[in-house]
Chain A
C-alpha cells in the first residue's frame, strides 16, 4: 500500500516548523564559540542590543536560575558524569560552535548582523581530541576526573580461562569515525508563553513530543502540565532530533524571560556544527578461539568520543555497542569495558543504528580476521558459532535476551540472493587479471522495541476510526502503516482510518520514535486497543461496527509494553578496488533482514534502501573531521559528501520473518538494519579484496586516497 502522506509532502502542502506563522514571531540567531576549548570571560552585548530591530541579547548569566543544563540520561549498571549541556555557555566553552548567547530580532538576517557585534572574551585552552588519550589531557570539567563522562564494564563467564586455553588469539584495533546525520530539514523550534495560563508551547522539529516535553521540563524546571510540545511535519531526523538541541531550550527559556514568541530555524551551517554527531568509537578487541574455529571468549575496550557534554542520549550508543558485541554468535565468555571520553567536540548521540553498527562492524571484522588467521572460510566460521534457532530466547553474556531469530537462515538467504558461487568464480577470474575484487559478510543484531507506547481510538457510528498514537513519524510513513494495522484488525477500509500524533496535549503519552520501535510498540498498542473494542462487541454479541453505531461511538485507550525485541540479518557485499585511483566500487549488495512481521513491504523495503545508502555513505565518503584545533573541517556539503542516487550499486532486499513472541504483531523493527550491517559487510569485502596484497585491515571510510596509499605502500 503506497504512502498516503506523500501527497501533501510532494505538493508542498506539508507544515514544517518553518511554515508555522504566529503573530509577532521574532527570529533568533546564536553567538557561537569559535574555539573548541576556552574559558569565557566578559560578554559585551551592548552594541548588539542597540541594533535597530533587535529585541534582546541574552547570555548564560541572564538565564541563571531560569534554565538548568539538559538532563544527562543514565546507563544501566554504568556511571554517568554530571555533565549535562548548559543552555548557554557558563564559564567555559567545550566545542567550537557551542552557543554562548542568543540574539532575538525582527529577522534572522538582523539577528546575525547583531550577533557579529557581540564581544566575547575567550581564553583559549588546549583542545582534547582523542578519546584514547583524553584521560591524560586537560580536564574539560573540573569535577569529571580523567575526562571520563561514561564508564561501564561487564564480565561474564570465565574470560581469563578462555584466553589462556585458546589455540589462537586474534587482536585488532579499530577507529570508527564520527558522522553527521544531515537530515534534509535541519532542527528548529518555536516557543510561545501564554502568560495568563502560564503554559509554554513549544513547536519542535523533533522525533516525538514526549522526550522534548521531559527534557524541556527538566531544563526549565516546568511542570508537565505547564508545558505543551507540538511536533509538526518533520523532514527527517535519523536520530539527531531525539534529544532537543540545547538551542531549543535556550529559545524556550528566552521566550518565557522576554514574553515574546520566538523561532529558531537552524540553518545547514549550524546543523553541521552543533547538532550532535553519530558514531565516534575507538576499540581494542580480542577473540579467543579453538583451532576448529569455535569462539571461546571475547575481550574489548571501547573508547567513545563523546564530545564536550552529555546530551540525554549520548551514553546510549556506546552502551548498546558493548551489549551487542557478541553479535550473532554463542560466545560463552566476554569482558567489555566502555570508557566514554570527554573531547572538545560537539557531543555525540544516536544516529541511525546508534551503537549497533559499531557492534556489528567490530564483531564481524573480528570473525573475518579469525577466519583468515585460522585458514577457515568466513562463512564456515560463522556457521560454527551462530546462536542456533533452538537456543532462543537466548541470553547473551552481556545480559540481553534475544527473543527470536534464525541467523543461519538469514546468512543462507543472503548468500543465495547475492549469488555467492557466481561471485566467487568472478573473484578468481578478476584476481587472475590482477584486479582487486572482494566478498564480505556482515551479520547484524538490532535491539529494538522495548519500554511502552500507547494508543487511543475512537470508532465513530459511521465506521470512521480516529487513532491517536503516542508514536510520531519523521519520514517513516506511520500514517500509512498504522492505518493499515488498524484496518486489518477491524476489517475496515484503511481509507476510513485517520491517524493523529505529535501534540503532547492532544494525544496519549508515549516514549518516542527511535530504536525502530514504532510498529512493534506503537502498532501493538493500537492492536491491543482495537482488540479490546472487539471483545466489548463480542461480549454484547454484535460486531464492533454495529456496536459503535448503536452506542453513538466507541472509545478505547491502551498501553502496551514489552522487553526488547531483536531484529537481525545478514548482508553480503561484493566490491572492487580500482588500482589506478583507489576508488572503491560496490558491485552488489544483498540485504536480508529479519524484522519479524512485515506490515507494509513497500515501506519496509524503502527503509532497507534508505538505511543501506546511509550505511554505504559511511563506507565510501562520510567522515566528520576535526583538525588539531578542534575545528570541524567538514562543515558543509562541499566538504562532507553524501551519496546521491547516481552512486547506488545494485541492492537486493529480502525479508526473513521470525516473529517476535513479545508483541501481538510479532514485529521487531526495520528502520536501521541497512545502516547497521552494510558497513560491516563492505569492510569485510574491502579486506577480502586487499588480502592478496597483504593488507590486514582498513578502517572506514574507504576513501580513494586512503586505499590508493595502501596499494602504494603494499607495492601494488
Chain B
C-alpha cells in the first residue's frame, strides 16, 4: 500500500521544526526513524497533511553521558543505544532492551525517542525507561516542559504530547551502587512484537536487603505499567526466590488484559519473575 498524499518539509534546525509543528489548521507529524510511522502511513491508518522530517536537525543527534546522567537526543538510533559503551557500562538494561527491538534493520533507523512517542505498550524501550525513572524533555514553539513516564504515557499509542510538541531528549538518571537490572520478553518468534515482558531494576542496601525494586511491564495494559504493589513487597526484603515469586504474583494481580487473559497473565508473571530473579542476582554480583 502507498500513503495518502502529504506535504513534506526537511528543516535544518530545531527552531524551524518546532515552527512547522505549530502550524495551524494542519495535521503535522514529525518523522525521525519512521519505523512506526511509515507502516501506519502505508496502511493509510495515519494520514497527516504534512510530515516534518527531523533527520537533518543535527542538534538532535546525540547519545551521551553527561556527568552521571544519560542524555538520549531525538535522533539517537536504537542501534546506538544497543552498541554504546557508556550505555553498556552505566545502563545495561537499556542495551538489553534495545537488543530485542525488532530486527537490526529496524534498530538502525528507528529512534529511541520515536519509540517512546509512539507509546506502544508492547514496546521494549518505554518499559525499560519507565523502570529507570527516565525524564522526558519536551519542546514546542511555546516553551519547554519535562515529564515523568507516568505523566507521559497516557494510553495505547497516546502520550501527553500536544500536537505542536516534540520529545527532544530523554534523560536517564544514574543507578545507585549494588544495582542489578534485567529485561525479559516473550514473543512468538525472534524480533516479533512482545506478548509480555518485564524490565526489573533491583538495588540492595549494604546488608543484602532490597532497598528499592523497580518493575515495569510490557504489554500489560494501555501503558508501560510500573508494578507498584510488587515493588512495595520487595522493598526492605531479601530478594530471594520466595519474595520474587510473591512479587511476580502481585505484579499481575488486577491487570486488565485482552484475549487469552489467563494465559497472558501467566506469561507476564513468568517474565516478571525471571526479570526480578536475574536483576536480584546481578545486584548481588
Contact = CB atoms under 8 A, between A and B. Distances in A.
B1 A269 contact: yes
A647 B187 CA distance: 11
A372 interface: no
Contacts of B189: 621, 641-644, 646-647
A271 B190 CA distance: 23
A581 B267 contact: yes
Given A108-B2, A113-B4, A581-B186, A641 B267 contact: no
Interface stretch (B145-153, B168-176, B258-266): B258-266
Interface string A571-600: 000000000111000000000000000000
B191 interface: yes
Contacts of B263: 581-582, 704-705, 708-709
A109 interface: yes
Contacts of B8: none
Nearest to B269: A580
Contact of A109 (B3, B191, B262): B3
Nearest to B192: A641
Contacts, number: 51
Interface string B252-283: 00000000101100110010000000000000
A269 B192 CA distance: 18
B157 interface: no
Contacts of A112: 1-2, 44
B156 interface: no
Contact of A621 (B3, B188, B266): B188
B45 to A, nearest CB: 11
Nearest to A268: B1
Interface string A673-716: 00000000000000000000000000000011100110010000
A201 B282 CA distance: 66
Contact of B1 (A267, A644, A708): A267
Contacts of A642: 189
A712 B267 CA distance: 13
A638 interface: yes
Given A108-B2, A112-B1, A581-B186, A704 B193 contact: no
- Place the interface of chain A in its size category: 20 to 34
A385 B100 CA distance: 49
A376 B76 CA distance: 63
Interface string B1-16: 1111100000000000
Question: Interface centre among A580, A582, A709, A712, by most B CB within 10 Å?
Answer: A580
Contacts of A113: 4-5
Contact of B266 (A643, A644, A647, A708): A708
Contacts of B188: 621, 641, 703-704
B273 to A, nearest CB: 9
A642 B191 CA distance: 11
Interface string B179-205: 000000010111111000000000000
Contacts of A580: 266, 270
A641 B192 CA distance: 8
B276 to A, nearest CB: 15
B186 to A, nearest CB: 7
Contacts of A703: 188
A646 B262 contact: no
Nearest to A578: B270
A621 B263 CA distance: 16
B176 to A, nearest CB: 31
Contacts of B44: 112
Contacts of A646: 189-191
A704 B262 contact: no
B3 A705 contact: no
A705 B262 CA distance: 9
Interface in B205-232: none
A113 B1 CA distance: 10
B122 to A, nearest CB: 10
B193 A581 contact: no
Nearest to A646: B190
A638 B193 contact: yes
Contacts of B266: 580-581, 708
Contacts of B5: 109, 113
Nearest to A643: B189
B43 A704 contact: no
A109 B2 contact: yes
Nearest to A107: B2
A647 B193 contact: no
Contacts of B191: 644, 646
Contacts of B2: 107-109, 112
Contacts of A107: 2
A27 B266 CA distance: 49
A708 B266 CA distance: 9
B265 to A, nearest CB: 10
Contacts of B186: 581
Nearest to B270: A580
Given A108-B2, A621-B189, A647-B189, A269 B43 contact: yes
Contacts of A109: 2-3, 5
B190 A644 contact: yes
Interface in A92-131: 107-109, 112-113
Interface string A251-293: 0000000000000000101000000000000000000000000
Q: Choose among A109, A113, A581, A641 the residue with the greatest number of B CB atoms under 10 Å from its CB.
A: A581
A298 B267 CA distance: 42
Interface in A602-637: 621
Interface in A413-437: none
A704 B265 CA distance: 13
B252 to A, nearest CB: 13
A645 B262 CA distance: 30
Contacts of B267: 581, 704
23 contacts: A108-B2, A109-B2, A109-B3, A109-B5, A112-B44, A113-B4, A580-B266, A581-B186, A581-B263, A581-B267, A581-B270, A621-B189, A641-B189, A644-B191, A645-B190, A646-B190, A647-B190, A703-B188, A704-B263, A704-B267, A705-B263, A708-B262, A708-B263
What are the 5 closest A-B residue pairs judged by CB atoms, nearest first? A646-B190, A109-B2, A705-B263, A705-B260, A641-B188
Given A704-B188, A708-B266, A709-B262, 14 more contacts: A109-B3, A112-B1, A112-B2, A267-B1, A581-B186, A581-B270, A582-B263, A641-B188, A643-B189, A644-B190, A703-B188, A704-B263, A705-B263, A712-B262
